[in-house]
Chains A and B, each alone.
Chain A
Amino acid sequence: MEEGLRRELAQQGIVTTTLADLYNWGRRNSLWPLNFGLACCAIEMIAASMARFDISRFGAEVFRPSPRQADLMIVAGTVTKKMAPQVVRLYNQMPEPKYVIAMGACAISGGPFKQGYNVLKGIDRYLPVDVHIPGCPPRPEALLHALMALQEKIRGQALTGPARPRHLQSEAPSEFPVPQFGAHDLEPPHHPELWQPPAVVGGES
């Protein structure tokens, strides 16, 4: 149905929808986050779930203590290399469809601890991150904004066709390789398909 006709019908009080719209509407309005925090960003995440900022206005207040019941992983805080395998394993144990919000400077890049020998420089080296939130720590409003951005992303997802999201493709992986502790670093240091170190193009001429 074309957009103009749909708007015309909506003005007459007739609401039309599609199965994909209904499905995405239900999914994006009840994202259940996994209840875990890694560092100080978790305090802001807790604040966002409390009465003042009230993340339940967006249907994401049901923080689950088990990955089996969660849709959304909010990586809130510094991911140490000791912790990274556990984070990836928790992600693997979440059922599809699942999403990742990397919250704060540490989760997206290592942040102020980037030079630390034991700090992972961004969880996007191992997990497919949907929304990155900058800030140290981000305000609860920033987390709410990230949630709304994720909801917008889900709104546009197709049910069929080649552009459908990962969880609807039977051949796409649901689990990502858990890094192992190596002699000097995590093995592998990053997921080769998710993240590549930035290459210097051109150089001095």
Chain B
Amino acid sequence: MAVHNHEYLFLAIFLGAALAFCVTPLALARLWAAWVSPAKPGVEKQASYECGVAARGDAWVQFRSEYYLYGIVFLVFDVEAIFLLPFAVAFMGLSVGAVLAMAIFLLLLVEGWVWAWRKGILTWQ
């Protein structure tokens, strides 16, 4: 059985080498920890906060689902800024149709922004 008959053998070799490259240091570290340097977990050491002040509560907190409104408004501003920059640069060379298209696009975004404003999400709760 000649090696060159197996067209994809190099993939298997590559996979083996990649696995060994990852697993060997991890295994060596485990062996070192088991034989020489023992792991010492502790309450303070594994606290979720690490700036000297005592940790309160858990790291697994839930964010309120109303956050999506902030996300949407951020997206509106973000997309607007991305399109406004090239628009401003090329403004003098644009045709009337292009300017009108951009104006409609801006109108749509401003409409969404006004909707969010009317909904009252910009007032801090």
Main secondary structure of the interface of B (DSSP, over half): loop
Q: Nearest Cβ in chain A — how far from B74, in angstroms?
A: 28
Task: Tell me if A30 counts as interface (CB < 8 A to partner B).
Answer: no
Tell whether, in the assembled complex, residue B45 and residue A167 are in contact, meaning their CB atoms are under 8 Å apart. no
Tell whether, in the assembled complex, residue A168 and residue B38 are in contact, meaning their CB atoms are under 8 Å apart. yes
Task: Tell me if A151 counts as interface (CB < 8 A to partner B).
Answer: no
CB-CB under 8 A from A95, the residues of chain B are: 45
Which residues in window 9-59 of B have CB below 8 A to A? 36-38, 40, 42-45, 47, 50-54
Q: Among the interface residues B36, B38, B40, which one has the most CB atoms of the partner chain A within 10 A?
A: B40
Closest to A66 in B: B50
Q: Nearest Cβ in chain B — how far from A10, in angstroms?
A: 26
Tell me which of A87, A169, A175 contacts B52 (CB under 8 A).
A87
CB-CB under 8 A from A170, the residues of chain B are: 38, 40
User: Contacts A89-B44, A178-B44: A68 and B38 contacting too (C-beta < 8 A)?
Assistant: no
Task: Give the tally of cross-chain contacts (CB within 8 A).
Answer: 44
Tell whether, in the assembled complex, residue B42 and residue A92 are in contact, meaning their CB atoms are under 8 Å apart. yes
Tell whether, in the assembled complex, residue B45 and residue A93 are in contact, meaning their CB atoms are under 8 Å apart. yes
Tell whether, in the assembled complex, residue A92 and residue B38 are in contact, meaning their CB atoms are under 8 Å apart. no
Tell whether, in the assembled complex, residue B36 and residue A93 are in contact, meaning their CB atoms are under 8 Å apart. no
Tell whether, in the assembled complex, residue A175 and residue B45 are in contact, meaning their CB atoms are under 8 Å apart. yes
Tell whether, in the assembled complex, residue A160 and residue B45 are in contact, meaning their CB atoms are under 8 Å apart. no
Bound Cα distance A97, B52 (Å): 19
Task: Tell me if A56 counts as interface (CB < 8 A to partner B).
Answer: no
Tell whether, in the assembled complex, residue B43 and residue A175 are in contact, meaning their CB atoms are under 8 Å apart. yes
Tell whether, in the assembled complex, residue A96 and residue B52 are in contact, meaning their CB atoms are under 8 Å apart. no
CB-CB under 8 A from B38, the residues of chain A are: 168-170
Task: Tell me if A86 counts as interface (CB < 8 A to partner B).
Answer: yes
Tell me which of A67, A97, A168, A174 contacts B42 (CB under 8 A).
A174
Which residues in window 82-137 of A have CB below 8 A to B? 86-87, 89-90, 92-93, 95-97
CB-CB under 8 A from B53, the residues of chain A are: 86, 89
Closest to B37 in A: A168
Interface residues of A (CB under 8 A from B): 66-68, 86-87, 89-90, 92-93, 95-97, 159-160, 167-170, 173-175, 178
Interface residues of B (CB under 8 A from A): 36-38, 40, 42-45, 47, 50-54
Q: A90-B52, A168-B38, A175-B42 are in contact. List 13 more A-B contacts (CB 8 A).
A: A66-B50, A68-B50, A86-B52, A86-B53, A89-B44, A89-B53, A92-B45, A95-B45, A96-B37, A160-B36, A167-B37, A170-B38, A175-B43
7 pairs, CB–CB < 8 Å, chain A vs chain B: A89-B44, A90-B50, A92-B45, A95-B45, A168-B37, A168-B38, A173-B40
